[in-house]
Structure 1
Amino acid sequence: MDNFDDPILLPQSLEFDKPFISFDLQLERLKRRGMIFDEDSEEYARYIFKKYGYYRVINGYDTLFKDPSSIEKKYLEGTRFEDVFNLFILDNELTKILFQQFTDIEAHFKNITAYYVSQHFGVNNYYPDDRDNPSHSHNSEVKSYLDISFYPNQSSSSLNILHCLSLKSPDNPTKIYRKSRNHIPPWILFSNAYLGTMNRYFLILPNHIKDEILDEILKPTLISSAQALGLDIHSIFFDGMELLREFRNCIAHGSRTYLFQSNKHFLPNKLQKLVSPDSNILTSKKEYSQGVGKNDLYAIIIWLFLFTSSKPEADLLLKTFNSFFDEVNNLLTDDPSNYDNSFFKTSKLPINILERLQNLISSYHQ
């Protein structure tokens, strides 16, 4: 009879790049690289590795603490395990703030889009040859709001995706409506659609419907300023929503939020002219040329404030970030990299970001 208490020995005929390493050996590796542990922090580190994993905590957040002068991987003098884990904690707090904002913005965007699509194109999702089309029983054809004729000279890819979703989505509330109602209205279908699909759908909408949607989401002064400068506010909005989507996907995959940058979508430098005549209210030309406020964390934070509908809402958001940056300063006070606000430097956030955001609020919601 097998003894299930005996260890299982696996044949190791191949030398793997990343073999199994016990928690004790993981700690010894960090010590050899110069990381400082006391008796209590060693036990705490074991607990953290069991809960979150060595790779996620160490490989994800030790960037600030590496010694750039060392050929081998070494940490700066004085680096403690708590320093690296504190950065992990901060990034997780940041993701919570951002994700809640992303969720609210996405819901607003989908609801407003559904409202105006319903108003102009109706509430029937079915094509004439769909089996469940209610028109079949009335000997008349009710055009679908996804009919390509409503979107002249546009690609049908997002329409096909939405139509397929209406027929096959396994998720509620679309599934419930498909089984218990004779149609699936836009406000139901869009709630189950991916944000990327909705963004591409927005692009093919007639301009007058796009304008109605943006009138509800963005400040009128932003839209009128864009027109005065000859900028395409529809494309700018699309890039902003895509930047939001990419950051949200970064969060969903457990990547480092504070270091994320988009490769495709960005916040136009001219956009600050739409907010205020003061061209340096958000970023200087030099900062922008270095990527500050272009496609990084600062850029998505600016977008969050541009999506605020009122000054009280913007003030509340600023208060949230104020608390977060206080926590950054408190937890990283003993940062061994020997310069102030290394979190800000690495994430390309201006050290005076709160002052800049306050100026943005004052100008945008005046």
Structure 2
Amino acid sequence: MKKSKTFRTYTEQIDLMRSRGIGVPDRREALEALSTFSYYSLVNLNKHLYGGLDKRDFEGNPTLLDLQLAHMLNMNFYHLLLKGILYIEASFKTKLAYLVSREFGTQSGDTESSRHDFLGEEHYDRSNRASEGVLRALRNKLRFLLSDSNQNSYSHQFLAGNRQLPPWMFVHDIEFGLAIQWYKILKKSDREEICVKMIQGETGEPLSGPALDLSCDFFLAALELLREYRNTIAHGERVFPSEMAASLPEEPLFAVLPAGILSPEEYRLGTGLKDPFACLVTIVFFIHDPILMLSFLTEIRSQLDFARLIQENGTAGSLDSHQILGIPPFTLERLIRLSHHRFGGLSE
């Protein structure tokens, strides 16, 4: 039989916080905080900052205000991270749909053998045992878009008009994870083309040989890392890098990163492996538009300035904002350096 949790009133929650080493100087403010953010968000999701998830009592004498500020910083920062991931997801899907449309056509039916069907099996890597299942999932998604349960969507209205849904429209209706699976069943040359466009940009220099192989290894690992962060943040869960399954492999990462962005020593200590810094570097690395880069870096700077202001006005139990966010102090400096490598000073 599963162990049940005990319901506690806000007053009881305040007493429990005090018993665990959390300062609650103002009961009225505490009642408002608990009814706004919840005990779980303020206490349970911040345990790792004050002693560890396995500890009952909080170390360092934090106040409820410290926990509120930590929660707000995390929410703001990870919403920004999610926005950056969505930029890259859109770029990836655009390039995927462009290649599929150009090479395989713009029509799709239920037949699995038509050369003009962009989901026809002959267009994909038949040696990949996942191909059949992924193509089935994509066809099922197309059928779902035509179903009555989806009748209010633009795609349904488009299909209901007896029109084909082209790849550049269809790709926006599929999950990031399914788009990645779609990419993985492409033939090698098609996968490489998308990889090079994502890494070098549409007008960048081509890659070949070992550099291309390592770039493709990095690209696929980066997509999986972004997908995992995206899903975790979008579901309202706190990001704990130690629980992330995806990571950036060392050799491919250092093969594509410019010098001065990350050192091997920093990587071996966990920075750039699967932490938020790894996610940020991946986002910035895949941005090829200077205005988009400027916008994203400006928002990061704004968030870190806000975090610094909060820290300066915090209590004795306040933690360093970088520690709260799980990023190294040099984060913004390195991201700007990566941006300068691509655009010069245009993106600062």
State if a TM-score over 0.5 links the two structures.
yes
1:301 is aligned, of 274, 277, 280, to 280
RMSD: 3.0
- 1:138-287 maps to which residues of 2 (within 5 A)? 143-153=116-126, 154=128, 155-169=131-145, 170-171=149-150, 172-219=153-200, 224=206, 227=209, 229=211, 231-257=213-239, 259=241, 262-266=244-248, 268-276=250-258, 278=259, 281-287=260-266
CA gap 1:261/1:288 in 2 versus in 1, 3 angstroms: farther
- For residues 147-203 of structure 1, the C-alpha deviation after alignment (integer angstroms, 9 at most, x for no partner) is 111114232221111011111234433322332224222122211111111101111
Describe the SS at the equivalent of 2:43: helix
1:317 aligns with 2:296: yes
CA gap 1:348/1:94 in 2 versus in 1, 3 angstroms: closer
- 1:1-366 maps to which residues of 2 (within 5 A)? 17-39=4-26, 42-66=27-51, 72-77=56-61, 79-128=62-111, 143-153=116-126, 154=128, 155-169=131-145, 170-171=149-150, 172-219=153-200, 224=206, 227=209, 229=211, 231-257=213-239, 259=241, 262-266=244-248, 268-276=250-258, 278=259, 281-333=260-312, 334=314, 336=316, 341=320, 343-345=321-323, 348-366=326-344
Q: Offset of 1:129 from its aligned partner?
A: 8.0
TM-score by length of 1: 0.80
Q: Contact 1:125–1:145 at 8 Å: present in 2 too?
A: yes
CA gap 1:346/1:199 in 2 versus in 1, 3 angstroms: same
After alignment, is 309-318 or 80-89 more displaced? 309-318
Q: Contact 2:88–2:286 at 8 Å: present in 1 too?
A: yes
Equivalent AA in structure 2 for residue 76 of structure 1: G
CA gap 1:227/1:294 in 2 versus in 1, 3 angstroms: farther
- For residues 226-284 of structure 1, the C-alpha deviation after alignment (integer angstroms, 9 at most, x for no partner) is 745463323321221111111111112211137575213325454244232x3xx2222
Distance between the aligned counterparts of 2:244 and 2:52, measured in 1? 27
Distance between the aligned counterparts of 1:299 and 1:126, measured in 2? 40
Distance between the aligned counterparts of 2:21 and 2:72, measured in 1? 21
Q: Contact 1:203–1:234 at 8 Å: present in 2 too?
A: no
Distance between the aligned counterparts of 1:129 and 1:284, measured in 2? 48
Equivalent AA in structure 1 for residue 213 of structure 2: L
**Structure 2 residue runs without a partner (length 5+):** none
The count of residues paired between Structure 1 and Structure 2 equals 334
Q: Between Structure 1 and Structure 2, whose CA radius of gyration is higher?
A: 1
TM-score by length of 2: 0.84
Describe the SS at the equivalent of 2:119: coil
Q: Offset of 1:20 from its aligned partner?
A: 1.0
Equivalent AA in structure 1 for residue 5 of structure 2: K
Distance between the aligned counterparts of 1:161 and 1:358, measured in 2? 40
**Percent identity between the two aligned chains:** 21
**Structure 1 residue runs without a partner (length 5+):** 1-13, 131-140
CA gap 1:248/1:72 in 2 versus in 1, 3 angstroms: closer
Q: Contact 2:21–2:57 at 8 Å: present in 1 too?
A: no
CA gap 1:186/1:48 in 2 versus in 1, 3 angstroms: same
